[in-house]
Amino acid sequence: MVELEGWLPALLAAVATLAVAQLLLRRSSFSSTLPTYGPFFLPPFVRGLLAVYSLGADEDAFLQGLKRDYGAAVYIPWPMKTTFVLSIEGIRSVYAAPRRILNFYPIRREMQHTVFGAAPYWKDEYIMDGHLFPIHARGMSKANLAESLIRIVDILRVCLDELASKVDKAPQGEVTVDLIKWTVETFYDATLAGFFGKEFLRQDHVNKQELYDAFNAFDKSFPIVASGMVPPALLEKIPDVKKGREGFEVLTSTFQRWIRDGFHGLDAGIVRDMAEFATDHNLGEREAAKIMVADMWASMANAPFMGVQLLLFLLQAPSDIRRDLLDEIDSSLQAPTTEQSTFSHLGQSFPLLTSCITETLRVGTSIFSARIVEEDFVIPAHGKYGQTVVPAGTRVLSAPRPHHLDDSFWNGTAKAWNGRRFLGGSANLARSVYGFGGGVSRCEGEHIAGAELKAFISLLFSTFEVELVTPSNDGDSVRRVEVVGNEAPALLPRRADGRVGMGAFQPAEGARFDMRVRRRQPLSS
């Protein structure tokens, strides 16, 4: 019998050497064929499982490692069966590719079914691609969201007035507020009024807390269901998915009743367009209600958490940014009050705040934009990367996070927050930030989200002096992000687990940051 004990170490050493050599070879000049993830000596399914594990364990490290080791794109075997596109040129190619090469619509249709429970009409290209998606996109144009924006700003003012009355009643004229909870709830109230009308939360049968809890349960289950990696039979056994389904039911029945009761004071807008679409295609109230859950989710899954991150960065920004931002806000308030709730005013009055928002999108999001490869998709050769061909019949994901963190693109300061990064001559660089995704799947809510963030910050900072209370629950629950111009890093809540590629980072459960709020001293003229 062969004596294995003597051979085994040598065999392992040889395999390890080969693996390292292969890795080094890849690093110095990236292959022109599509590489597959993982050590070559492992079977594909083990490599695929390794990838799933590594992605879940540390998303940033995994994605940056992919780009470092494999270049522009890499294929991840089962269970993902997907090519990750990682280089800036590759990402641009994905977003620019025509539908005949990279198709998004089948994915968008399927999501409507798997996540939002749409009845079989979801398969109908004529109804979905031909009607639902175009009507939806029209409804989300700036012109059609003008009234929504006015309602959003009105409700933001109501929330700030409520806070002001607490401050005025406080003995020292100062209150301490749970920053994350207050910001998220303020966005919920304002956004819900914006899309569903100011009367929505005032209906007799609507319990605001119950609705929020239902939404949060549904949102928590979203990544598991949307990943498509868990077989339907197993899905129902996952407690978070079960709670998410219950939450979905609460949301659907609430919207169904709202439709039946005549939309309670909402005359027009995207959700009325959607209800009309459902009527035109005989889908019924329940299907219309499910489409509304999808809109509610889209409008609230990211914006509140961008609000939290933006506020935290601004509260920890260098003093010159704080000062210039206040000047910008004060001069924006010279405009008549009605003008302050318009897209044009919010779009033009805040160059510094716009730059801070884009920077927060760059450091505070990770997104995956999925496509089906209909024809071989060619990522042209660029820089150190050879041409790569992604074969037809597979899926690609554009994953811009490693590009957002790439020092060679961002002047050596990719890991640091720089509020002035996109000012003046550098404004065009904002096009290389993909926090809203890109191409045909680019966020339809980007304009209203940007306007909402600007209104939120400008109203808050013009009314109050706000100061961050240094969190005492340091350690694991806090992450640190360098800030250009500051010695100390900014503190942010640790990211919630299990939300890879899902957009704006949400705080981990239980994270707590407080802010001290007092009335701002009147401006000396």
Which residues would be at the binding site for ligand HEM (CB under 6 A)?
108, 295, 298-299, 302-303, 306, 365, 367, 369, 435-438, 441-445, 448-449, 503-504
- For 206-264, give the DSSP string: --HHHHHHHHHHHHHHHHHHHH--S-HHHHTTSHHHHHHHHHHHHHHHHHHHHHHTT-T
Between 444 and 514, CB nearer to ligand HEM: 444
Pairing mode of beta strands 369-373, 102-103: antiparallel
d(CA 376, CA 355): 37
d(CA 84, CA 390): 10
CB of 310 to ligand HEM, least distance (A): 9
CB of 465 to ligand HEM, least distance (A): 26
CB of 107 to ligand HEM, least distance (A): 8
Between 175 and 308, CB nearer to ligand HEM: 308
d(CA 261, CA 273): 16
d(CA 375, CA 453): 40
CB of 498 to ligand HEM, least distance (A): 17
CB of 445 to ligand HEM, least distance (A): 2
Between 23 and 443, CB nearer to ligand HEM: 443
Closest CA to 49 of 19, 80, 86: 80
d(CA 8, CA 2): 11
Between 47 and 495, CB nearer to ligand HEM: 495
Which residues neighbour 512 within 8 Å (Cβ) at sequence distance 6 or greater? Answer: 178, 180, 471, 473, 477
d(CA 98, CA 116): 27
CB of 193 to ligand HEM, least distance (A): 13
263 sits in the region (left: phi over 0; alpha: psi -120 to 50; else beta) called left
Between 189 and 295, CB nearer to ligand HEM: 295
Between 157 and 371, CB nearer to ligand HEM: 371
CB of 467 to ligand HEM, least distance (A): 24
**Contact predicate 306/453, CB 8 Å:** yes
Between 160 and 448, CB nearer to ligand HEM: 448
Tokens 């990719």 correspond to what residue?
A: 414
Task: Determine the distance from the C-alpha atom of residue 502 to the mean position of all C-alpha atoms in its chain, rounded to a whole number.
Answer: 5
Between 346 and 517, CB nearer to ligand HEM: 346
The runs of H, that is alpha helices, within 30-178 are 44-57, 59-70, 88-96, 105-114, 125-127, 133-139, 142-169
CB of 82 to ligand HEM, least distance (A): 14
d(CA 186, CA 189): 5
